[in-house]
Amino acid sequence: MPNNPIGWFEVYVNDLDRAKTFYESVFEVSLESIGDPNDSSIQMLAFPSDMERYGATGALVKMDHVLAGGGGTLVYFSCDDCAIEEARVTAAGGSIQRPKMDIGEYGFISLVVDSEGNMIGLHSMT
Protein backbone atom coordinates (compact mmCIF):
# COMPACT_ATOMS: atom_id res chain seq x y z
CA MET A 1 0.00 0.00 0.00
CA PRO A 2 2.00 3.02 -1.23
CA ASN A 3 -0.25 5.73 0.28
CA ASN A 4 -1.85 6.32 3.66
CA PRO A 5 -4.44 3.58 4.23
CA ILE A 6 -7.41 5.95 4.55
CA GLY A 7 -8.15 8.47 1.83
CA TRP A 8 -11.69 9.51 2.78
CA PHE A 9 -14.34 8.78 5.40
CA GLU A 10 -18.09 9.19 5.60
CA VAL A 11 -20.13 9.44 8.80
CA TYR A 12 -23.73 8.54 8.01
CA VAL A 13 -26.40 10.63 9.70
CA ASN A 14 -30.19 10.67 9.97
CA ASP A 15 -30.61 14.41 10.63
CA LEU A 16 -28.02 16.42 8.69
CA ASP A 17 -28.75 19.76 10.41
CA ARG A 18 -28.49 18.21 13.88
CA ALA A 19 -25.26 16.38 12.97
CA LYS A 20 -23.83 19.57 11.43
CA THR A 21 -24.47 21.43 14.69
CA PHE A 22 -22.85 18.62 16.71
CA TYR A 23 -19.65 18.40 14.65
CA GLU A 24 -19.26 22.15 14.17
CA SER A 25 -19.71 22.66 17.94
CA VAL A 26 -17.34 19.90 19.08
CA PHE A 27 -14.53 20.60 16.59
CA GLU A 28 -15.12 24.36 16.15
CA VAL A 29 -15.08 24.11 12.34
CA SER A 30 -17.45 25.00 9.51
CA LEU A 31 -18.67 22.19 7.26
CA GLU A 32 -19.17 22.85 3.55
CA SER A 33 -21.92 21.41 1.37
CA ILE A 34 -20.59 19.19 -1.44
CA GLY A 35 -22.08 16.79 -3.95
CA ASP A 36 -24.64 17.00 -6.72
CA PRO A 37 -27.34 19.59 -5.90
CA ASN A 38 -29.66 17.83 -8.41
CA ASP A 39 -29.57 14.51 -6.54
CA SER A 40 -31.74 14.81 -3.43
CA SER A 41 -31.06 11.19 -2.42
CA ILE A 42 -27.65 12.17 -1.01
CA GLN A 43 -26.54 15.24 0.94
CA MET A 44 -22.95 15.77 2.08
CA LEU A 45 -21.18 18.25 4.35
CA ALA A 46 -17.38 18.10 4.08
CA PHE A 47 -14.91 18.71 6.87
CA PRO A 48 -12.26 21.35 6.17
CA SER A 49 -9.04 19.91 4.74
CA ASP A 50 -5.55 20.75 3.60
CA MET A 51 -4.38 18.23 1.01
CA GLU A 52 -0.74 19.16 1.74
CA ARG A 53 -0.97 17.92 5.35
CA TYR A 54 -1.05 14.46 6.89
CA GLY A 55 -4.36 12.68 7.32
CA ALA A 56 -7.61 12.11 5.48
CA THR A 57 -10.74 14.19 5.24
CA GLY A 58 -14.35 13.19 4.83
CA ALA A 59 -17.95 14.23 5.19
CA LEU A 60 -21.22 13.84 7.01
CA VAL A 61 -23.56 12.03 4.64
CA LYS A 62 -27.36 11.76 4.62
CA MET A 63 -28.36 9.16 2.05
CA ASP A 64 -31.72 7.56 1.34
CA HIS A 65 -31.98 4.07 2.88
CA VAL A 66 -28.72 4.37 4.89
CA LEU A 67 -29.17 4.81 8.64
CA ALA A 68 -26.71 6.16 11.18
CA GLY A 69 -25.39 4.29 14.19
CA GLY A 70 -23.33 1.21 15.10
CA GLY A 71 -21.86 0.31 11.72
CA GLY A 72 -18.72 -1.50 12.83
CA THR A 73 -16.20 1.14 11.72
CA LEU A 74 -14.69 3.65 14.11
CA VAL A 75 -13.22 6.91 12.80
CA TYR A 76 -10.71 8.74 15.01
CA PHE A 77 -10.44 12.52 14.69
CA SER A 78 -7.02 14.04 15.42
CA CYS A 79 -6.95 16.63 18.21
CA ASP A 80 -4.28 18.63 20.04
CA ASP A 81 -5.75 17.37 23.33
CA CYS A 82 -8.77 15.07 23.02
CA ALA A 83 -10.05 16.26 26.41
CA ILE A 84 -10.88 19.65 24.85
CA GLU A 85 -13.21 18.22 22.19
CA GLU A 86 -14.54 15.64 24.66
CA ALA A 87 -15.61 18.50 26.96
CA ARG A 88 -17.84 19.90 24.17
CA VAL A 89 -19.64 16.63 23.32
CA THR A 90 -22.51 16.63 25.83
CA ALA A 91 -23.47 20.26 25.20
CA ALA A 92 -23.49 19.51 21.45
CA GLY A 93 -26.02 16.70 21.87
CA GLY A 94 -23.74 13.67 22.18
CA SER A 95 -22.49 11.50 25.02
CA ILE A 96 -19.16 10.26 26.33
CA GLN A 97 -18.67 6.52 25.98
CA ARG A 98 -15.11 6.36 27.36
CA PRO A 99 -13.39 9.44 28.82
CA LYS A 100 -9.84 10.34 27.84
CA MET A 101 -7.56 7.39 28.47
CA ASP A 102 -3.84 6.80 28.11
CA ILE A 103 -2.79 4.40 25.34
CA GLY A 104 0.90 4.52 26.19
CA GLU A 105 3.39 5.65 23.56
CA TYR A 106 0.50 6.20 21.12
CA GLY A 107 -1.03 9.04 23.12
CA PHE A 108 -4.59 9.33 24.37
CA ILE A 109 -8.09 8.58 23.10
CA SER A 110 -11.68 9.37 24.02
CA LEU A 111 -14.70 7.50 22.66
CA VAL A 112 -17.85 9.55 22.20
CA VAL A 113 -21.27 9.11 20.62
CA ASP A 114 -22.44 11.83 18.25
CA SER A 115 -25.94 13.28 17.96
CA GLU A 116 -26.86 10.53 15.46
CA GLY A 117 -25.78 7.52 17.54
CA ASN A 118 -22.43 7.00 15.78
CA MET A 119 -19.45 6.24 17.99
CA ILE A 120 -16.35 8.23 17.02
CA GLY A 121 -12.88 8.39 18.48
CA LEU A 122 -10.83 11.41 19.49
CA HIS A 123 -7.04 10.99 19.43
CA SER A 124 -4.20 13.19 20.66
CA MET A 125 -0.61 12.79 21.73
CA THR A 126 -1.14 14.87 24.90
Query: Residue 6 has what pLDDT?
Result: 76
Instruction: State which residues of the chain have pLDDT below 50.
Output: none
Task: Supply the pTM of this predicted model.
Answer: 0.85
Helix or strand or coil: residue 37?
coil
| CA trace torsion 17, 29, 36, 14 (10° rounding) | -30
What is the number of residues in the chain?
A: 126
Q: Which of 1, 7, 22, 20 is nearest to 114 (CA)?
A: 22
Is residue 113 within 8 A of residue 66, CB to CB? The reply is: no
CATH of domain 8-124: 3.10.180.10
Query: Residue 98 has what pLDDT?
Result: 93
Query: Residue 28 has what pLDDT?
Result: 97
Q: In this structure, how many other beta carbons lie within 10 angstroms of the beta carbon of residue 123?
A: 15
